[in-house]
Chains A and B, each alone.
Chain A
């Protein structure tokens, strides 16, 4: 908030002042413009925005907790012992271990960030990042419940999402450059005890990841209210367009991976392959994730990783859909 030249003391005063000013502004808005806030569109937007934030909060806390634990409690040597030293082999191990983190994508980004910080090869961390929200048991059960008439959907989702994670991990070992990833500095304070460092890193990460989550929530709520569902049905008849539109929709709607199957099941006018693309793209690339990834790994990373993941996810979904569905 303060310019770099101001003294630390000025900056301190300003940041608490800003907090007070922001609260005052909110109260003033309530008093001066109650009509604006009670319009249906504003209310629907607010409901969706708050819903995305609240729904993600428990998973974010879980992710931050795990990531702080990895960062402060687990010794770095643990990962070098567990993971194969060759990245090409570490990728599938990390991808499969995504099965063990029951949560949605908000939890996996901070965890992947702390894995890289702990010396895990980025390719393996990225494979984990992509597979954890898509292939964990909770998500697979939700998919089975949402598609009672199409049990092959579960297998297709599992296979396609795991493939995307592996392909992206291997692609990174071939083409990735370490200077694309710029991890933010950890909360300082090396001299304090383990508990204090653990708690402080949780606080820091919560603010950090939470802030980016809000960016994603803002985007998702806006598109949710602005894009009418009705026009979707007009494109469902073209097989190519249907896949692209649902893949794009998965990116902008940013629905939690534990719920997206129910939304996909509702898009009955679309082909199963198009809906599979929706389920495979959503947990791998969406506006909320892009914001979180930009925050955790840096912008240079996000602008490369997200589009490539999108392409790989769409291609894989179409290929798997052609074989299984």
Chain B
């Protein structure tokens, strides 16, 4: 790989990383606090590439230099370790892949596909003894993260007399019905864990991955389709379509 190609690859990679980190796009892949780190890393890579392109004419294996003097420096390592020992290793071509996937597919945040394939109860929360906050100002219900709802529903009486509002996407349930789900990430999308709450209400024409707001009351948990643990249930009073929140992940 020649110098110019190598440096252009770095410009592409760094440029895409900066663009993703600058806007909200990175929130589909990494946790929110990671944005600045990614921005700095992308900028370093981008500037390295740009500086390489700009300073290229002075380099020893520039085209003009080579024609005049094809001797020691270029011929020397060009013949022996070709494709490896020159400016960029061949494996570096693979860096085009993440760039291409980001630009062409621009994959969205993980959703129902991931949630449906991940059947396991969530880990216990950091702080035990869940207390439910007072109602949202000016309403008769309280908005809860799905994880809080999951654990509150396991403690007798915590949700008695309360109306809750849950926001998540629609996941079809194996064995009938549907969930309102949310993905939690702790570092990046590779460690995604889905939290799903069974919605006791007809799904209607809601497609999978449609974001909804479910307002309702707690009902008795039911066994999950595999029968290994209990899933929380919300008895819905209203189900409303809402736009996807930013960030889409909880936690």
B107 A268 Cβ-Cβ under 8 A: no
Task: List A73-121 residues whose CB lies under 8 Å from chain B.
Answer: none
- Using A26-B100, A51-B29 as known contacts, say yes or no to A267 and B120 having CB atoms under 8 A apart: yes
Contact digits for A210-241, partner B, Cβ 8 Å, 1 yes 0 no? 11101101101100100011101100000000
A262 B1 Cβ-Cβ under 8 A: no
B240 to chain A: closest CB distance in Å?
A: 24
B101 A46 Cβ-Cβ under 8 A: yes
B191 A259 Cβ-Cβ under 8 A: yes
What is the CA–CA distance of A61 and B38 in the complex, to the nearest angstrom? 10
In the complex, chain B residues whose CB is within 8 Å of the CB of A212: 91
What is the CA–CA distance of A263 and B190 in the complex, to the nearest angstrom? 10
B38 A54 Cβ-Cβ under 8 A: yes
In the complex, chain A residues whose CB is within 8 Å of the CB of B84: 184-185
B26 A207 Cβ-Cβ under 8 A: no
B81 within 8 Å of A (CB atoms): yes
Name the residue among A37, A47, A199, A259 with the largest chain B CB count within 10 angstroms.
Answer: A47
Contact digits for B1-12, partner A, Cβ 8 Å, 1 yes 0 no? 110111111100
What is the CA–CA distance of A117 and B130 in the complex, to the nearest angstrom? 54
Q: Name the residue on B nearest A257 (C-beta).
A: B187
B41 A61 Cβ-Cβ under 8 A: yes
In the complex, chain A residues whose CB is within 8 Å of the CB of B95: 207, 210-211, 214
Task: List A249-275 residues whose CB lies under 8 Å from chain B.
Answer: 253-256, 258-260, 262-263, 265-269
- Using A57-B41, A207-B89, A256-B188 as known contacts, say yes or no to A46 and B5 having CB atoms under 8 A apart: no
Contact-residue bracket for chain A: 35 or more
A128 within 8 Å of B (CB atoms): no
A9 within 8 Å of B (CB atoms): yes
In the complex, chain B residues whose CB is within 8 Å of the CB of A175: none
In the complex, chain A residues whose CB is within 8 Å of the CB of B180: none
Q: Name the residue on B nearest A256 (C-beta).
A: B187
What is the CA–CA distance of A61 and B17 in the complex, to the nearest angstrom? 12
B7 A203 Cβ-Cβ under 8 A: yes
Contact-residue bracket for chain B: 35 or more
In the complex, chain A residues whose CB is within 8 Å of the CB of B177: none
B221 within 8 Å of A (CB atoms): no
B117 within 8 Å of A (CB atoms): yes
Main secondary structure, interface of A, reads helix
B208 to chain A: closest CB distance in Å?
A: 8
B108 A43 Cβ-Cβ under 8 A: yes
What is the CA–CA distance of A71 and B110 in the complex, to the nearest angstrom? 40
Contact digits for A41-53, partner B, Cβ 8 Å, 1 yes 0 no? 1111011111111
- Using A50-B98, A207-B92, A214-B97 as known contacts, say yes or no to A55 and B30 having CB atoms under 8 A apart: yes
In the complex, chain B residues whose CB is within 8 Å of the CB of A253: 190
Task: List B82-139 residues whose CB lies under 8 Å from chain A.
Answer: 82-98, 100-105, 107-114, 117-124, 126-127
Task: List B167-208 residues whose CB lies under 8 Å from chain A.
Answer: 186-193
A230 B117 Cβ-Cβ under 8 A: yes
What is the CA–CA distance of A159 and B192 in the complex, to the nearest angstrom? 28
In the complex, chain A residues whose CB is within 8 Å of the CB of B242: none
In the complex, chain A residues whose CB is within 8 Å of the CB of B40: 58
Q: Name the residue on B nearest A49 (C-beta).
A: B101
A308 within 8 Å of B (CB atoms): no
B151 to chain A: closest CB distance in Å?
A: 13
In the complex, chain A residues whose CB is within 8 Å of the CB of B121: 268
A26 B103 Cβ-Cβ under 8 A: yes
Stretch in contact with the other chain, from B44-52, B158-166, B230-238: B44-52
A291 to chain B: closest CB distance in Å?
A: 9
Q: Name the residue on A nearest B105 (C-beta).
A: A46
In the complex, chain A residues whose CB is within 8 Å of the CB of B87: 187, 203-204
B142 within 8 Å of A (CB atoms): no
In the complex, chain A residues whose CB is within 8 Å of the CB of B193: 262-263, 266
What is the CA–CA distance of A60 and B75 in the complex, to the nearest angstrom? 32
In the complex, chain A residues whose CB is within 8 Å of the CB of B28: 47
In the complex, chain B residues whose CB is within 8 Å of the CB of A210: 13, 92, 94-95
Ranked 6 nearest A-B pairs via Cβ: A259-B187, A207-B92, A211-B91, A262-B186, A51-B189, A46-B107
Contacts A43-B107, A55-B190, A215-B91 aside, 9 further interface pairs with beta carbons under 8 A come to A15-B1, A16-B5, A40-B113, A47-B107, A50-B189, A149-B124, A228-B117, A263-B193, A266-B120
17 contacts between A and B (CB under 8 A): A8-B66, A8-B74, A9-B63, A40-B113, A43-B113, A44-B107, A47-B109, A47-B110, A52-B190, A57-B38, A199-B52, A202-B48, A204-B6, A214-B94, A214-B97, A228-B118, A295-B91
